[in-house]
Amino acid sequence: MVVIGGGVSGIWAAIAAAGEGARTGLVEKNARFGDRIVCAEGVRADHLSRFVEARPEWVAASIDVVRFFAPDGNVVEVEEPGTGFILNKELFVRGLARMAAARGVEMHLGLEASTVKPASCGDLEVSLASRSQPAGSVIRCGAVVAADGLECRIGRELGLSGALDPSDIFLCAQYTVSPIELDPHLAEFHFGHDVAPGGYAWVFPKGETTANLGVGIARHGAAVGGQRRAASAMERLVRFRERRAPKSQVLGRVAGGVPAEREPYKASAGGVFLAGDAARLADPVTGGGIVTGMASGELGGVFAARYAKGSGRPQHLDKEFAKALKAEFRDRKLRWAARKVLLGMSDRELSRMIELIGDYARGGASLRSGPVAILKFMAKSMPTSFRLARHLLSG
């Protein structure tokens, strides 16, 4: 079987498929793994450890404190020792690639898959091209995991992915900056329509004087400052840097979209299984995609391997895969409802929510307690604002 895409979800799919005993190939269009990083690089430690233990060289910073900045100027600080990591994602991706190679995955860099179509005897044909061979070549395989990111060319061609609703896309822009004054073990989250309508801005440390400084907004973010059009994520990032780290220098810049659908479970057909952003499985609240990519990649790799090996009837495997995705992402509807709540909040409501986060933590609860516990607390304290999520919570 073949995995298309050498990001986190694709590499983890290849590792899972090889673990199932399938001969596994992985194709990546870039010349090196980890070359194109569109990611804030933050991940919860307990979520990552479910799949792999973080190695010291992968970790740029360990997070022990989270600080929330409200639109009204209030600042809430929550101590959460060992809550998460800011990764050196380039090193993380290449570390996973070495793990895949050690498990026998055949790596093919500089190749881009353009189409996947049925061949004889139930096989699939994958058309590949490169800069040196634009005419390309064709390989045959028993199954495919398409982990080709937001573009999702393979999924769209097969009718597995349609157009995204604009409200289901985070538009993100990020600088890596230095020098910047910060606590190397503290992550910042800034809220407010002037900063990031429908989303938030962040400062994630990557050492003593370096940080990822970014902005993620809803695509339909409202215009600010009398502008006739909405400011882009990059324009908002420029303003945020001028305010938070005006003396810093920009060491790197990335921008892109993060897809998060309510029920993205039509993710397989005819031996093709989608994973990661191609399956629209980023977290609807935070936009995080590392762990969701690993989770969906693992399922895609396992089911693609079974499909390629003929372990079960194809129609049954598609249904079982959809069922497994729903079980893995069982709180998806609740998270999506929370996103819709946040999209509709005024600055006053956002300020109240951040105040309540402080109350929640001072009451002895942890932010790692999970979305259900946190949303129940919020729905009880702000019943009008959280009415969209209340019926899901009551169920």
What's the rounded Cα separation, in Å, for the pair 153 and 7? 15
How sure is the predictor about 100, in pLDDT bands with cuts at 50, 70 and 90? very high
Position 104 scores a pLDDT of: 97
pLDDT in tens, 118-156: 887 779 999 998 877 777 789 999 999 999 988 888 998
Position 262 scores a pLDDT of: 77
Q: Can you give the residue ranges of every domain in the chain? A: 2-39+90-164+262-330, 62-86+166-259, 334-394
CATH of 62-86+166-259, one of 3.40.50.720, 3.40.50.970, 3.40.50.300, 3.30.9.10: 3.30.9.10
Residue 151 structure tokens: 């573009």
Judge whether 248 and 212 are in contact, CB under 8 Å.
Answer: no
Q: What is the mean pLDDT of the chain?
A: 89
Which amino acid would we find at residue 57?
A: E
pLDDT > 90 fraction of the chain, expressed in percent and rounded: 63
Judge whether 111 and 25 are in contact, CB under 8 Å.
Answer: no
Residue 10 vs residue 228, higher pLDDT: 10
How sure is the predictor about 21, in pLDDT bands with cuts at 50, 70 and 90? very high
Question: Where is mean pLDDT largest: 9-23, 215-229, 252-266, 314-328?
Answer: 9-23
Lowest mean pLDDT across 100-114, 181-195, 304-318: 304-318
Q: SS3 for 263?
A: coil
User: How far, CA to CA in Å, does 61 sit from each of 58, 183, 207, 384?
Assistant: 9, 10, 6, 38
What's the rounded Cα separation, in Å, for the pair 27 and 2? 8
Position 223 scores a pLDDT of: 41
Average pLDDT rounded to a whole number, residues 199-211: 96
Question: Where is mean pLDDT largest: 76-80, 120-124, 131-135, 168-172?
Answer: 76-80
Position 169 scores a pLDDT of: 84
What's the rounded Cα separation, in Å, for the pair 164 and 260? 9
What's the rounded Cα separation, in Å, for the pair 321 and 299? 7
346 CB neighbour count, 10 Å cutoff: 12
Tokens 């329509």 belong to residue: 193
pLDDT in tens, 346-375: 999 999 999 999 999 999 888 888 777 888
Report CA Rg, the chain: 21
pLDDT > 70 fraction of the chain, expressed in percent and rounded: 93
Position 224 scores a pLDDT of: 41
Position 228 scores a pLDDT of: 47
Lowest mean pLDDT across 10-24, 200-214, 322-336: 322-336
Strand-pair category, 2-4 with 144-146: parallel
Element (H, E) at 327: helix 314-328
Position 225 scores a pLDDT of: 41
Please determine, for residue 342, whether its predicted confidence score (pLDDT) is greater than 90: no
Residue 200 vs residue 36, higher pLDDT: 200
Average pLDDT rounded to a whole number, residues 331-356: 90
Position 369 scores a pLDDT of: 81
Position 74 scores a pLDDT of: 97
How sure is the predictor about 328, in pLDDT bands with cuts at 50, 70 and 90? very high
What's the rounded Cα separation, in Å, for the pair 386 and 382? 6
Position 229 scores a pLDDT of: 55
CATH homologous superfamily for the domain 2-39+90-164+262-330: FAD/NAD(P)-binding domain (3.50.50.60)
Position 230 scores a pLDDT of: 65
Average pLDDT rounded to a whole number, residues 71-91: 95
Average pLDDT rounded to a whole number, residues 262-278: 87
